[in-house]
Structures are given as structure tokens and as C-alpha cells.
A and B are shown apart, each in its own frame.
Chain A
Amino acid sequence: MLTFLPYTFKSLWRHRTRSLLTISGAGVALLVFCFVGSVQHGLFALTENQEAGRSLIVFQENRFCPQSSKLPQDYASTIAKQSGVADAMPIMVFTNNCRASLDAIVFQGMATDLLMKWRKLALQSGSWDGFARQDDAALVGKAVAARRKLKVGDKFTIGDITVAVAGIFAADNAADEGLIYTHLDFLQRARGLSDVGMVTQIEVHLNDGANADAVAKAIDEEFHAGPVATTTRTKGMFQADTLSDLAELIGFIHYLGFACVGLVLSLVATTTVMSVQDRIKEHAVLQTLGFRPRRIFGLVITESVVLSVLGGGLGVIGGMLFLAWSDMSVAAEGVTIAFRPSWDIAMQGAIASLGVGFLAGLAPGWQAAQAKIVTALRHA
């Protein structure tokens, strides 16, 4: 069939406007498909990764937005003594927008030694020393830095908090690249508030083999009668609960991905049907020359697959470039979902394009292959 590939391309080029419109339509649909895929991928990475199940978040009971949760910082030392706990890290969280937003900024203030120990940050510029030396220093995730065009040495203000960029980091977890880390006491004193001794949440790291649910229950029981009651969940569950509204929405836009695939299917199928109907006589001539019906079927399928794969390929490449360039993320209540390109999404897009191209060519291919030669030769 490769022998006839030039014929396929020339046939597509004959109706270049129609072909290019189909390719561009398929491209746009696959771009959206990749975007939807990356949103789902981001949510999945946040709630299902290994760390999400092996660490706990202790939050004030019945509180949701970070601004409303206030736990005594010394809870951390009590928690650290619990069986199964490797470390407890008090964290102050501040966000400029508790509702879902594409440009929410989330600060996390924590002790430098714990930050270095528990966050896998790779500094792309700046230094840890620079961060440690300066009270108002901040380590900025590369996604935020790109979005806000920040570089080391810059000072910027968000919601009355002014920080100096001491470093820009990349992280294993893309969602972390949407955060800004500061010193804990700096964030406790920021905005004129006197929250010294109070934190938003405590992140608990478990020993190997510790039962996360049992430890969470023990922590909540410990503080049940204390000054502030707690709710403790695995990090994955905490993030899933926090993002539950968004997760529902993301679950719904899953269907948008299917709709995109359906759109490509109908677009490519329409073009292929038109192409076959335009060339009823041409296919009859090919059969007269000795082309088997099966080969005619193959030619039509090839044409349909080429259209779909070209459009889909451009869409996938465009989608990946857009996701890489835009560093987009959505945050709600201090939790960030990062939209990042991935090979998984690219492969899904490529496979969808290939499958859709094949499906779109089935009916017109069958129609072309089954045409009666003599009747088709009389076709105008």
C-alpha cells in the first residue's frame, strides 16, 4: 500500500482547501483533547501519586479555605511522637484567592531544613543559601515564575505580601511548580497579622509500613479534646476533598474529550465520503486496470488515516507546545492542579487520531470497493 502513498497525497492535495480545513479541524479538536487530558492527568497526579498516600495533612476540623484553618504550631511536636510518624512539618499557607482560579498564587511557609528534606526541589536559578539568609526570601515554582515573568532578585507583592525571589525551582510533582515557598515565621508575621505560633496545616510523613488511616485517627483523637480539633486525611484525600467541586467539573469535561474524538470522526468521515463520491469513476478505472476491491478499500482508508493523523498530529504537537509554554494551572483553596504535557497524553492523542482515521474510512472505503465497475464508469 506504501507504493500508492504518493497517489493518496496527490488526491488529498487535489482538493487542498477541503483537506486543509479537515486537517485544521482535526488539529483543533485534538488540541482540546490534549488539554482536557492534561487537566485530568494533573488531577490524577495530585490525588493518586505515591506521596499522596504516604503523607497526611492535619487541618482544623470543619475548615476548608487555608485562611480559616488555624492550628497551634506545637501540635507538630505532639504529632511527631505518634507511632508510625517519621516527621511532622507545620506549614503556613496563604493564597490570594480561595476560589478556583487560573492565576491563584499559593504561598507555603515552612522551616528551611524541613523544606529541603521533604520537598524534592531542583533549583534552576538562585541558591539555598540566598534563601536561608534573607527573611523575606522566596523560592518560586517555575510555572509561577514563567506566568509572572519573575527572576532571581525580583521583588513582588501579592495580597499585601512582598517577597524577594531567591530561587526558581523545578519539582518532580508539577503541581509543586505552581507554589511559592517562604520561611514559616515570615508568613506568620506577614500582612500585619500576628499568627506567630499558629499554622494552617501540619504535613505528616509516615514511616514505612505505618497504617495511614490508623495514624490519622490517632492524631484526631489526640486533639479531639484540645483547644482546636483536627481533621486528618491522607494528602491525596485532602487534595481530592479540597478540589471536589473542581474534580466534578473535570470529570464532566472528560466527555469533552470524547466529543473532540467524535468531532474528528465526523469531520474526517465527511471529507472521505465526499472524496469517494467525487471519484466514483476514478475508482472504477482503477478497478478496470486491475486494482482489487480490497486495494481500493485500502486506498480510501489510507486517505482517511492520513487526514486524521496529519490533523491529529498537528493538534497533539500544538497541544503539547501550548501546555509546555503556558505553564497553566488551576488552584482552589490553596491546592494547585498543574496542566502539563506528557507522553501519555501525546500517545493517547496519536492513537485516537489513528483509530478515528481508520473508523472514518470504513464506510466510504466499503462503498468504493463494492461499486459495480460498469455502473461507476458511466458516472459523470
Chain B
Amino acid sequence: MSLVEVVDVSKEFKSGEETIRPLDGVHLTIEEGDFVSLMGASGSGKSTLLNLVAGIDEVNSGHIFVGDTDITELNRGKLADWRAANIGYVFQTHNLIPVLTAYENVELPLLLLPMTASERAKRVEIAMAAVDLTNRAGHYPRQMSGGQEQRVGIARAIVANPTVVVADEPTGSLDDDTTEQILSLLQRVNRELGMTLLMVTHDADAAQRATRQLRLERGQLVENGKPILPRALRTA
């Protein structure tokens, strides 16, 4: 059974009188341990698809299964609980909480989960070590470079050992050297920690670092030049 199944998902927006439908009956399956990159033109709906999988946006139709859970059926409160336990989100602009130190930012998602303070501390230390920022634990975001901030963002995304890590253009605001560091880090997260990743990018080189490369074209997903068709679908 696939870890993530996107089943006939459509999403539309109103723009004045016009209705835009970036996702039009999209199908996608992601297996456990996959590192999937998602490319597409600006406005093609790649970030929208990522946000739907992350449970921070709502579909107009269709279903999204993550593990056994159809997240399109969850209300806002339960969806928030589900995100806390199952999703690690890496933002393009880091989005660290400015008043918290690197350590506190990484610890934040764990405060929502039932665990002891010592277990929490252990997990934060492991995550900080994984992104090689143990020596920056007490620094505030303003005291760090963009690359360091993004590494803290990745540590925050992986600290709760989520089912899926989603990354929305994680290297979009970084220089070449830092981009290379972040992509290597994401690859390590996938290979060494076995985490499933879905990464949106506009950078073809970055996309090549993933194990699967998808494109979103005219509301449909394309893999290896062929549209992704529905397969043995679950019934909603």
C-alpha cells in the first residue's frame, strides 16, 4: 500500500470573474521512502498540491490518503493534530519564530505531542546534530545566515519523525553553495533517516536530486513524460 495517495483531486480558485483550476483530477501515489520532486511553471499548482498533501489547504473534490487516513475528511482541529504528528514542513523563507532560539524553534512541534521533557530534549539534540547546528542551538534566527536558518527549518520539520516531509522550494532564496548544502541535507534525510519527501522546486538540478521527478502540466501530473493515470484506487 502506498504511503500517500492523491485520488482525483481538483482545486480551483476564483480570480475576479474567472475560475482557475490548477489541479484538475490529479492522481499521485508516493511510496514510503520516496524522494519526489515536483516541478512546473509558475502558477501551475505545484505548491497547491504540496499544501493539500500537507493538510493546510482544502480540496474542491477528490481524496488524499496518508497512511490509513483520508485527510480530506478531517475537521480543522483534527487536521491540526494530524499535521503535528505526520507532517514536517520546510518553507522557502524558513519561517522560524523570531523570538525563539534555534533550539526552541526545533522543539516547538514536539510541545504538541505527548512526550516527556527528557525525550523532547533528546529528539531536539538529534535533529540539531542531523543538520550540524548543535553549536548554534542558543542563537536566534536574526543571528544566523539564510542557510543556517533553513537547516534549523529542516531540523524542525524532521524532529517529530513525521510520516512525510514536504518542502516548498526550500532552496528558492539561497545562493548556489547553500543550495547544494540544503539539497545534500535533504538527500541525507531521505537516505539515512528513511523519511519520505515531497519537494516543490523550479530548479531542474535540484529536482534531479530526488528519486522521482514529476511535472505539473495543465492541471495534470506527468512522470517520465507520461501522465500519471489512476491505478487501483481506493474508494473514498
Contacts and interface: CB of A to CB of B under 8 A. Distances in A.
Interface of A: 3-4, 7, 10-11, 13-14, 281-282, 285-295, 373-374, 377
B111 to A, nearest CB: 5
A223 B183 CA distance: 106
A13 B112 contact: no
B109 interface: yes
Given A287-B56, A288-B89, A374-B56, A293 B99 contact: no
B76 A293 contact: yes
A14 B108 contact: no
B226 to A, nearest CB: 30
A374 B57 contact: yes
A7 B99 contact: yes
B214 to A, nearest CB: 21
Q: Most chain-A Cβ atoms within 10 A of its Cβ — which of B76, B80, B97, B111? A: B80
B80 A10 contact: no
B100 interface: yes
Nearest to A372: B57
Indicate the size class of the contact surface on chain B: 20 to 34
Nearest to B97: A282
A3 B95 CA distance: 21
B69 to A, nearest CB: 14
Interface string B84-97: 11010101000101
B97 A7 contact: yes
B97 A293 contact: no
Interface string B114-130: 00000000000000000
B187 interface: no
Given A290-B80, A291-B80, 4 more contacts: A10-B100, A282-B98, A290-B84, A292-B77
Contacts of A292: 76-77, 80-81
Nearest to B80: A292
Contact of A290 (B91, B99, B109): B109
B56 A290 contact: no
Given A289-B84, A294-B77, A374-B51, A10 B99 contact: yes
Contacts of A7: 97, 99-100, 104
Nearest to A10: B99
B53 interface: no
Closest 3 pairs (CB-CB, A-B):
A290-B84, A10-B99, A292-B80
Contacts of A288: 54, 56, 83, 87, 89
A271 B83 CA distance: 31
A290 B54 contact: no
Contacts of A293: 76-77, 80
Nearest to A14: B99
A306 to B, nearest CB: 14
B98 A14 contact: yes
Interface in B42-67: 51, 54, 56-57
Contacts of B54: 288
Contact of B95 (A13, A281, A374): A281
Given A3-B111, A374-B57, A289 B83 contact: yes
Nearest to A370: B76
Given A14-B98, A285-B97, A292-B81, A4 B57 contact: no
A373 B57 contact: yes
A76 B100 CA distance: 78
A290 B97 contact: no
A235 B171 CA distance: 83
Nearest to A13: B99
B11 to A, nearest CB: 11
Nearest to B86: A290
13 contacts: A3-B111, A7-B99, A14-B98, A282-B98, A288-B83, A289-B84, A289-B112, A290-B84, A293-B76, A373-B51, A373-B56, A373-B57, A374-B57
Contacts of A377: 56, 91, 95
A286 to B, nearest CB: 8
Contacts of B85: 290
Contacts of B98: 14, 282
A288 B95 CA distance: 11
Interface in B175-190: none
A289 B99 contact: no
Contacts of B84: 289-291
Nearest to A376: B56
Contact of A285 (B91, B104, B111, B112): B91
